[in-house]
Structures are given as structure tokens and as C-alpha cells.
Amino acid sequence: MLSKLSKVSDKLADVSLGRLPADLLLKNCNLLNTYSGEIMENVEIAIYNDRIAFVGSDASHIKSNKIIDLEKMHVSPGLMDAHTHLDFLTSPTEFAKQALLHGTLTLFADPVDMVSVLGCKGFNLFLKEARTLPIKVFTMVPMALPQDPRFSNANYMKYQEVVKALEDDDVLGLGEVLSWTRVIDKEKQLLKIMKYALSRGKIINGHTAGARGSKLASYISSGIFSCHEPINYDEAMERLRLGMWVMLREGSVRRDLEAIASQLRKNEISYSRIMVASDGVDPEDMMNIGYIDHCMRSLVKSGMHPARAAQIASLNIATYYGLDKDLGGVAPGKVADMVVFKNLENFTVSKVFVNGKLLVENGNLMIKQKAFRYPAWVKNTIKVKKRLTAQDFRVRVNVNDGKVRVVIANLLTSIITKQDMAELPTVDNDVKASRENDVWKIAVIDRHHKSGNIGIGFMKGFKTDIDAFACTINVDENQLVVIGMDEEDMAVASNAIIEMHGGFAAVKNQQVIARYAMDIAGIMSSKRYEEASREYMEMNSILKKYGCPFDKPVQTLFFVTFVALPEIRFTDKGMVNVKKREYVSIFAQ
């Protein structure tokens, strides 16, 4: 992915002295210098092949095959995302085009969803696609799988598969080790993998939500030195003081960057171990808010100097991953990945150079990127035994037409739930949902192993005047999940998704009123980004139109299977109390 400096180092030396013509000379630049933290005015930059040969105020001694006058616009190293998930809603190929347009040229990806559906074959396929992209994508081996071996039914990579993956130069280490409790409890297989990675000099990314004090220290001591989970200044500072690299998260799940950055600046805290990370950006946010260019706007809005913002969004990330000899700055010998901003207020991208080639100009891609061709098995991942019927969603009781008390998950937000109780009606010995009390029936259907498992429970708080909503993408498990007020509608929604080979479907009166197809492993759309984003936004808009109180209603189903968040989650085997780490009976004791 990165060329060897040694192949052109002698030529770069000649170009810098004017002995050899440059391929490209950029004149009249204002440079965001990530090494000194200043803005250098009237800079000239000479490029040979894919590397920078000269940076200075006067390149008149260098002849060039092409000259571009940047008219005092601002040049920054290509922006980076320290931790993201590309295998999410749209294909990596389509995502890469948008990243380019937003000046984000290097991504560090954790393909946890591809692996959860397709195992090691999915990981290798992700690597194959990543190598075709016009941006640089470095990959981490997913360590969020299994979320919890006691409950997870997703695929994951075995020890020997991880060992082989870590031999690849484009695989920099292990992705976020999701369960810090498994680390400090010294789970044998997990520690074996971590020790091997450390022995190879590989990075291990962290996930420390909820860890404090001695438990946090224990986790860090195991060799994990970064985290993207701090949601406030105090959490960020506790990790910084213990030597961690802190990724300020600014993505579609959470946006904590500006508030934490403001406090860091106010208290004159060193930025040397601060990075930016999205943790994933959905199509709606990409189109309406932006990507790491948005992070630049937020950092400067927090009071940070633009060159320091560029440092956090490039050099610090490259340094953490051991790539700073090639990436992270505009300087002699570095790879010529650069973004040109029209101004330092809204950071509108004017031009993007990758490996010294102009790939974006005035909002237009200057290249044509072919769609990646997926093998047929990637589009056949909804493995259920049969078409689903209303009978599959019955909760049988000995009470015929009466009421029973059940345990439910109460939505405090679109993500966090609390264990609660509800009294629900029974009809023909089946416990029913209650529109009056906003209690929905929820089912998690195994779509990975064709086991026939269907775990059923109840959830309160969706507050949407539809009859069923289903999807096949949910954090790390990616099961077929459906909620509904009526079992017939739940079957309609589920079968619509099976026919689409994955996606979202909203149903009212047994008719699909909105859908978003994800035919790639049931987690990504194969459509062009613009078309996929329209459909995704329409799905959210329709659900809000029908009364859903959440800004992004689809996220409600993203997290129902995520057994790393409190308090009640659902699996294909039943309902789980996360704090107690045990299955919970539907029926109140």
C-alpha cells in the first residue's frame, strides 16, 4: 500500500537540488505544518513520483513538468480516521469515493461486521477490496468477536487465522478489544492472541467504556494503549494520564469531539496523544455533515489552531500506527497525500492529491473507480430454514384471554435500555404486544447457521405508528432482528428482508412502506452512494413521520444485540441482562 522511500530517495534528493525536474510543483500555498504547529505562508512544494521532494519559500531552481498555482489556499496532509468501520451500510468502494471528496485519505478499519457474517473469508475479501481503493486503508483484525462467548452466535477468526492475518503488511494489529472484563479476567484464548500480536510488534486498539481505576490500569498493562470510548473530559484525562492515546470520537453513533477538545484547550493539555476517529459514519451524516473535514471544523471551532487540528487529524494518527516516516505531514520524503482547503473557516475541500496525483478538484472526482465484484456467496448470507410465519413469533402461555407480567427492555435512548416490567394481554395463549403501552414484541432470528433459533422478548419506547420493523445489521452480531405490534406484520417484514438478501424493512398493514436493501453480506448496499444515502435517509424520515422520537430511528435495532451495553439485550437464544451476564426469563418472577 505504501511505496518504499528507498526506491526513489536518490531521485528526490536530485529534484530538491534542481538536478532533476519535478513531476508537479505547487506554488503560492499556505501550509498547515503539522510538525511545527504553524501556518507557513507562500510555500512551494515539489513532487516527484508519489513523494514530496522539496518544501520551501523558493523553488525557482526546480524545473517541473506541471505547475499548479494554489492562489494562497491552505495545504494540509491528507486527513485520517484513526478507527472506523467501512463494512457498514454501503460498500467500502463507495465509501472511499466520499472519503476522497472530504479530504480523508487514510483510514484504519476494523471489518468486524464482515467477519461476524463471513468469518475469515470475509476478512480476506475486505483486504482484497481495500487494496483496490484510491485511498489508503489499513486493516485491524476484529477482536470484538465474540462479544461475549456466552451469548454470541456470530462468526469470528480463530487463533491460527489471526496469526496468518498479522503476517500481512497492511494489517497493523488487533482491532478494538471490546470486553475489558475478558482481558482483566485473563481469558486464555484472548490473551494468547494479544501476546502473539505484541510479540510481533503489532498495535492493539482498545475499548474501555466503563473501566476505571485499577481495572483500567490492568487493561492498559496488558498492552492496549488507545481508546475511542471517552465521552467526556474526565474520562479522556484519566486515560491520557495513564499513557493512552485518546481518539476523540466524532461519528454517527456519538459526537464527543468538540466538547472534549474545548476542555483540553482551556486547560492547556498536550495534544501529542490526541487523535480523531469516527467509529463509523452513516450515509446521512456523510452527505449532510461531512467526514474528518467536519472534525477539522469542530476542532477549530473549539478554539484550536488549524495546524494543531491538522496534527490531531493526521500526524498523531500516523505516529500512533508507526507510519509517521511516510504519512502525516507535508515534508521532504513523505508520501504526497495532501488536501487543499479553500479557507480555514468551513474547510471546504478544493483539491485532493493522492500519491502526488490530483484525484479531486472542486468537488469532483477526477478518476473513475470500478465497482468491486463480490463473489456469489457474499450475497447469499440470510440462512434461515424457511419463510417465517406469524406462528414463529408466538410467546405461548397457559393464560388464554387475560394478562401476564413480563420483563421488558425500556429504551432510555435509541441505544441504552433499562430492565423494566409490563403487563401484557394474552390472546389464544399468545402474549401480545401493546400499542397502548408502546410495548413491542422483538425477535432475533439466527441467520448465520440455519439453526432455526428465534429468541423472543419485549421492548418499550419505539413510539412509532407502524406495525413492524426489521433489519439484518446490528452491532457485531448482524442477526435478523424484527420488532412488531402484530405477528403477521413481523413475518411480512422478515420475509421482505430475506427476499432482499438483507437490509431494512418497515411494514404497516402488512405492506412494506420503506426498505433499504443490503445485499452484500446483509450489511451493505451495492448501490451507488448517492442512491443508497437517499434510501437510508428516506427510511429514517418515514419512521420519524410515523412518530419515532429518535433522531435516527434505524439505530434502535443496531444495538439491540450488543451485549456490551446496559442493560437488556436480545440474542437468538433469548433475553440477556448484561450487568448480571445471564439470560433472563420473559416472565416476571
**Alpha helices, DSSP H only, in 131-267?**
159-165, 180-184, 188-199, 213-221, 233-241, 257-266
pLDDT at 89: 97
Confidence of residue 267 (pLDDT cuts 50, 70, 90): very high
214 and 335 both lie in a single domain: no
110 and 184 both lie in a single domain: yes
Average pLDDT over residues 74-95: 98
521 and 575 both lie in a single domain: yes
429 part of a folded domain: yes
Average pLDDT over residues 126-133: 98
- Summarised one tens digit per residue, pLDDT across range 431-480 is 999 999 999 999 999 999 999 999 999 999 999 999 999 999 999 999 99
pLDDT at 259: 96
pLDDT at 585: 95
Tell me the C-alpha distance between 143 and 222, whole Å: 14
Phi, psi (degrees; rounded to nearest 5) at 161: -70, -40
Q: How many other β-carbons are positioned within 10 Å of the β-carbon of residue 429?
A: 13
Q: Which domain holds residue 56?
A: 1-76+329-361
- Give counts: helices (H), strands (E), the chain: 16, 31
192 and 296 both lie in a single domain: yes
DSSP state for residue 305 in the 8-state scheme:
-
Q: Is the pLDDT of residue 388 over 80?
A: yes
Give bridge partners of residue 460 from the DSSP assignment.
410, 439
185 and 323 both lie in a single domain: yes
- Summarised one tens digit per residue, pLDDT across range 297-313 is 999 999 999 999 999 99
pLDDT at 391: 97
Q: Is the pLDDT of residue 318 over 90?
A: yes
Query: For all residues of the chain together, what is the average pLDDT?
Result: 96
Sheet holding 439-445, edge to edge: 430-431, 417-427, 403-411, 454-460, 439-445, 480-484, 468-471, 503-508, 511-517
- Summarised one tens digit per residue, pLDDT across range 510-556 is 999 999 999 999 999 999 999 999 999 999 999 999 999 999 999 99
Average pLDDT over residues 103-125: 98
Average pLDDT over residues 331-357: 97
Residue 522: all three cell numbers together: 446483509
Q: Is 483 helix (H, G, I), strand (E, B) or coil?
A: strand
**Alpha helices, DSSP H only, in 426-558?**
487-500, 529-545, 555-558
pLDDT at 401: 86
369 part of a folded domain: no
CB contact at 8 A, 211 and 176: no
400 and 461 both lie in a single domain: yes
pLDDT at 179: 87
CB contact at 8 A, 171 and 127: yes
Q: Is the pLDDT of residue 589 over 80?
A: no
Phi-psi label, residue 354: left if phi above 0, alpha if psi -120 to 50, beta otherwise: beta
pLDDT at 428: 93
**Alpha helices, DSSP H only, in 327-390?**
none
Q: Is the pLDDT of residue 67 over 80?
A: yes
**Predicted structure pTM score:** 0.96
User: 45-49, 350-354, 367-371: which range is least confident on average?
Assistant: 367-371
- Summarised one tens digit per residue, pLDDT across range 485-502 is 999 999 999 999 999 999
Instruction: State how far the alpha carbon of 18 is from the alpha carbons of 14, 15, 52, 62, 501, in Å.
Output: 6, 5, 14, 4, 59
Q: Is the pLDDT of residue 155 over 80?
A: yes
Q: How many other β-carbons are positioned within 10 Å of the β-carbon of residue 508?
A: 20
CB contact at 8 A, 275 and 315: no
Vertex 473: Cα angle to 479 and 168 (nearest 5): 95
Q: How many other β-carbons are positioned within 10 Å of the β-carbon of residue 560?
A: 26
534 part of a folded domain: yes
567 part of a folded domain: yes
223: domain CATH number is 3.20.20.140
User: 318-322, 381-385, 399-403: which range is least confident on average?
Assistant: 399-403
387 and 252 both lie in a single domain: no
372 part of a folded domain: no
Q: Which helix (H) or strand (E) holds 55?
A: strand 51-56
113 part of a folded domain: yes
534 and 386 both lie in a single domain: yes
Confidence of residue 383 (pLDDT cuts 50, 70, 90): very high
Q: Is the pLDDT of residue 1 over 90?
A: no
Q: What percent of the chain has pLDDT over 90?
A: 95
pLDDT at 523: 98
Tell me the C-alpha distance between 229 and 248, whole Å: 8
- Summarised one tens digit per residue, pLDDT across range 168-212 is 999 999 999 998 989 999 999 999 999 999 999 999 999 999 899
241-278 per-residue burial string, b: 16 or more CB within 10 A, e: under 16: eeebbbbbbbbbbebbbbebbbbbbeeebebebbbbbb
488 and 549 both lie in a single domain: yes
pLDDT at 564: 83
436 and 461 both lie in a single domain: yes
105 part of a folded domain: yes
371 part of a folded domain: no
Q: Which of 355, 344, 231 is nearest to 293 (CA)?
A: 344
Confidence of residue 400 (pLDDT cuts 50, 70, 90): confident
168 and 307 both lie in a single domain: yes
Number of domains in the chain: 3
456 and 467 both lie in a single domain: yes
pLDDT at 201: 97
